[in-house]
Amino acid sequence: MSSRFKNIRNFSIIAHIDHGKSTLADRILEYTRSVQSRDMEEQLLDNMDLERERGITIKAHAVNLQYNAPDGEIYSLNLIDTPGHVDFGYEVSRSLNACEGALLVVDSTQGIEAQSLANAYLASDAGLEIVPIINKIDLPAADVERVRAEIEDTLAIPADDCPAISAKQGTNIDQVIEKIITAIPPPSGDESSPLKCLIFDSYYDSYMGVVVYVRVFDGMVGPGDFIRLMNIGSEFQVIDVGIMSPFGLTKREKLYAGDVGYITASIKDVSETRVGDTITNAQNGTATPLPGFKKALPMVFAGIYPADGSRYGDLRDALEKLQLNDASLSFEPETSAALGFGFRCGFLGLLHMEIIEQRLEREFNLDLITTAPSVVYKIKKTDGNVIYIDNPTNYPPPDEIAEADEPIVKASVITPVEYVGGIMELCQDRRGIFIDMKYIDQTRAELHYELPLNEIIYDFFDALKSRSKGYASLDYELDGYKRSKLVKLDILLNGELVDALSFIVHEEKAYARGRRIAEKLKDNISRQLFEIPVQAAIGGKIIARETVKALRKDVLAKCYGGDITRKKKLLEKQKEGKKRMRQLGSVEISPEAFMSVLKFDE
Amino acid sequence: MENKLGLYIHIPFCSSKCAYCDFYSITEPKKHQRYIDSLILHMEDYSETLDNYDIDSVFIGGGTPTVLSKKLMITLLDGIFNNFNITKDAEITLEANPATIDTGILKRYRSEGINRLSIGMQSSCDNELKALTRIHTFDEFEESFRAARKAKFDNINIDLMYGIPEQTTASFKMSLDAVCDLQPEHVSVYGLKIEDNTPFAEKIETLVLPDEDEEYAMYEMAVNTLTQQDYVQYEISNFARPGFECRHNLKYWNCKEYLGLGPAAHSYLNDCRFSFRRDMDLYMEAMEKIDTEYDILDECYNITPKERVGEYIMLQLRLNQGLDTERFRELFNLNFERIYGKYLKIYVENDFMKKDKSTYSFTTKGRYVSNYILSAMLDFDSNIISNIVNGTDKS
């Protein structure tokens, strides 16, 4: 083994949301003195505001730590932080592939959850050495021994000597570092072979262009080298290479096999630098790319419109900016009779969608109207053509459809046993097909279901949480298409179809869903001068009807003495409010009323 | 004299604050004397500049003006008469709270020139008065009303309120009947509005308020009941025997000039709307130290021509007589129907407004959604109006 390799460790931390992954990362940084604790902002790795706030990691990050071990050796530790959510499963798998080992953080008060399990399987599939860490031992509800047993039973990983720590209080962090060095194997590779790097992340910087995060498996790379991105097929000349120190990019002369670092090469667009792609030499490169590349495909689509129609241009600019750093976000212009000009956006999943919405609203100060999310349906028409539909508006009329298929997922839910009944009911209600149930230990079970994706994109996760007092966890992966009986449900306001409110639903659920939406709209559309009928229809058939009663009272009956200004201001404020309204024929509807149909509370 | 002016005097004192009220008022009796002195100093400031005005309405409102001692009230009245040209037929109104007046006092005020009383009854149901945190019962109100009659007041307004916590259409009917029995000359019927920064706003979740439809039913009941009793509705909230319409309040709706003195009082004078800051101590200090720079102005702005058009429409349409398009053309050289035709057509067709010769007015149903309609129609910053006002439209 090259002596270089001996002192390198590449590892990730995997965990369920809130089990303390980012806090542990911070402690490791602190312990290795990469960061002085007084300089340290909580959770340095999660440097997007939204991430810090939600306590989750959205994009992968990486950091290089130089550790002076008590034995006198200096180790180069590369910590690759992974996104913790099911929507980003592919990105997690690529990050894991860049490592030789993974710390599996398990909350000693909660035990193993669906995402810990899913990520642990991913890590073990990637051939990683898994080092369990039992966290939060400072909490009164900690049960280290139970969790130890659970890890051994469920994952078949020895856990008898795994560190039990409190990342929050910094207890036993030394044992974690010790384990990283002793349990995780050093990298291997061949510096003299052609270059072979795995892209596990990239982001756009306005000065440097795209900064590509890589793990070098073979060969070496440095400034001036010509490189080729094998799957995309594009070529660039390297400007800089280096490592990610805790305080930013630090240039190096070269990156060698075994290293984790960055490459810049005047690349203009992150869509060139797909996660999972292999970088090699432009001349005499490797013939075989690293396995497992796939282009992350959007699974959930929704129309996003500016609440204020005049901000369409701002919305486009904002989406373009977000896309610079998020190749998995797709969008194209779309027009709705109800909402005007907007974009059809594709997302990896619901969380991804929520994050994009929130970033648009916060970072770009946009007020948005989002349509109901849709999955991609596969329709075989009577003329033999097969089309994919991601927008209910384009759904063909029933007599043109020969077969309709919808995407299916394999879902795994881990829950305390007392909620199994309620969760099975929920899955049943969402057209789930039961596969099996395993007991993780005496108190918790893991349920497997096959579920239509369109049943979980609305509020499944919320429903799951509410039925399990927040304890159940979910993981899912796409599992192809399946024949289904689908119908398009339309909503009519005052007799006029509102295109943005149409959606595709299973035949059996159409009636209940239609009724629920009509009720929601009735409750959320403000009273106007005239009565407004709200109807749900399939084809031409009305299946539900509600009425928004006519406005009766909107008057300043009170006399404010001679304070005419106040009366004027009230009317002006009201006028301002009206400007936010969408005019649909004779009906005014607020963005809030539009959005209300997206939430089906139980 | 050509120039007429209304005078409003604000007496921001109460013996206790009602939980729904957001008018500026304090409860410090120690400040009564000094405040009246300050008011008179303020009147003296205006005395000369307003010498070319005849004051044909005075309204002493609050607060609760009748918490002042008899002596202070008379000092105040003397101040008014000494500093302004009060016409012989001027309407001089005093706002009075039940439980703060008796026949003796009222006789004296009557002889000092007050010729109109406005008494807050609000409800004939004591549970509702209690819910409103009023300090009087209905019996006490009735007693005050009879005292006023005994003191020879022949122009009395009663304030009545609907939309009160616990109120029902049935209990409101009782209040209406109680008013009709007393035969006042004028009735103001106000809907309770929960204003921000009041105790009611804080506990709004716990208030059992009539809903929108019930409230409208109460309003409609008031309109019908009072009309049957020969009261004429002349404004959204005001009813009177013919000839007893409140001259002072009409000035507001007819865009006439008025001066309001005291903290939080509003004025409209020389095309300027202004008000004084809601700060009693600041007001008194400013009046006493004449050579010091105290800024007691709260808002102060000149009405632009386009704003004047919007205000005129908003205010005229509050009145049952409505807006006369001929008069509108004379005043602004604008064609009302041409500007608002598309709205007017829909509103008339659907019985929210009616047209009578050259006049547009709200129906009862339309009047009660008038904010909605006016906010759709009017735009105080509208370019349409400003283009027209600037002379591009002479139709």
Question: Do residues B237 and B327 share a domain?
Answer: no
Residue numbers of the domain that contains B146 = 4-252
Least Cα distance to B75 among B9, B30, B15, B5 occurs for B9
What's the mean pLDDT in A1-7? 77
Question: Do residues B247 and B343 share a domain?
Answer: no
Which one of A554, A559, A561 has the shortest CB-CB distance to B371? A554
Strand order in the sheet with B359-362: B323-324, B359-362, B353-356
End residue of a domain, out of B209, B225, B252:
B252
CATH of the domain at B323: 1.10.10.920
Q: Nearest CA of chain A to the CA of B191: how many Å?
A: 6
Structure token digits, residue A75: 């180790």
Which parts of chain B fold into alpha helices (H)?
32-49, 70-83, 103-111, 126-131, 138-150, 169-182, 199-202, 212-228, 247-253, 280-288, 305-316, 325-332, 336-349, 364-367, 370-377, 383-387
Residue B331 falls within a domain, yes or no?
yes
Q: Which residues pair with A413 in a beta bridge?
A: A447, A474
DSSP structure string for B231-264: -EEEETTEEESTT-S-HHHHHHHTT--EEEESTT
Per-residue model confidence (pLDDT) at position A493: 93
Residue B70 falls within a domain, yes or no?
yes
Chain B contact present for A580, CB below 8 A: no
Quote the DSSP letter at residue A194.
Answer: P
Question: Do residues B243 and B314 share a domain?
Answer: no
Q: How many domains does chain B have?
A: 2
Residue B49 falls within a domain, yes or no?
yes
Q: CB of A319 within 8 A of CB of A329?
A: yes
pLDDT in tens, A28-47: 888 886 554 444 444 444 45
CATH of the domain at B200: 3.20.20.70
Question: Do residues B46 and B185 share a domain?
Answer: yes
Question: Do residues B242 and B316 share a domain?
Answer: no
Question: Do residues B203 and B70 share a domain?
Answer: yes
Which one of B188, B236, B268 has the shortest CB-CB distance to A562? B268
**Which residues of chain A neighbour B190 with C-beta distances below 8 Å?**
557-559
Residue B317 falls within a domain, yes or no?
yes
Closest chain A CA to residue B162? A557
Long-range contacts: A381-390, Cβ < 8 Å, 24+?
A: A389/A504, A390/A301, A390/A344, A390/A346
Inter-CA distances, B38 with A597, B63, B279, Å: 59, 17, 13
As a whole number of angstroms, the distance between CA A132 and CA A152 comes to 10
pTM value is 0.71
Whether residue A126 has pLDDT greater than 90? no
End residue of a domain, out of B217, B233, B252:
B252
As a whole number of angstroms, the distance between CA B206 and CA B165 comes to 10
Residue B182 falls within a domain, yes or no?
yes
End residue of a domain, out of B188, B218, B252:
B252
pLDDT in tens, A564-588: 888 888 888 888 888 778 887 778 8
Q: Which residues of B69-94 are buried (b: 16+ CB within 10 A; e: fewer)?
A: eeebbebbbebbbebbbbeeebbbbb
As a whole number of angstroms, the distance between CA A157 and CA B279 comes to 74
As a whole number of angstroms, the distance between CA A62 and CA A521 comes to 46
Q: CB of A526 within 8 A of CB of A534?
A: no
Residues 6 or more apart in contact with residue A267 via CB below 8 angstroms = A209, A210, A212, A236, A273
Question: Do residues B351 and B244 share a domain?
Answer: no
Closest chain A CA to residue B313? A568
Closest chain B CA to residue A578? B376
Residue B138 falls within a domain, yes or no?
yes
Q: Is B50 helix (H, G, I), strand (E, B) or coil?
A: coil
pLDDT in tens, A228-253: 999 888 999 999 999 998 778 899 99
Per-residue model confidence (pLDDT) at position A55: 43
Question: Do residues B213 and B81 share a domain?
Answer: yes
Please give the single-letter amino acid code of residue A182: T
Residue B358 falls within a domain, yes or no?
yes
Q: Do A571 and B314 touch (CB under 8 A)?
A: yes
**10 Å Cβ neighbour count for A334?**
19
Question: Do residues B245 and B315 share a domain?
Answer: no
Question: Do residues B222 and B361 share a domain?
Answer: no
- When scoring A549, A558, A581, A583 by the number of chain B Cβ atoms within 10 A, the one with the most, hence best to mutate, is A558
Question: Do residues B45 and B139 share a domain?
Answer: yes
What's the mean pLDDT in A136-155? 90
pLDDT in tens, B245-275: 999 999 999 999 999 999 999 999 999 999 9
Chain B contact present for A320, CB below 8 A: no
Main-chain dihedrals φ then ψ at residue A336, nearest 5 degrees: -125, 140
Question: Do residues B224 and B329 share a domain?
Answer: no
pLDDT in tens, A45-77: 445 454 444 444 444 478 898 888 888 888 999
Q: CB of A403 within 8 A of CB of A483?
A: yes
pLDDT in tens, A335-376: 988 888 999 999 988 778 888 998 899 889 998 988 888 999
Closest chain A CA to residue B351? A529
Residue B181 falls within a domain, yes or no?
yes
Structure token digits, residue A121: 């399987």
Per-residue model confidence (pLDDT) at position A42: 47
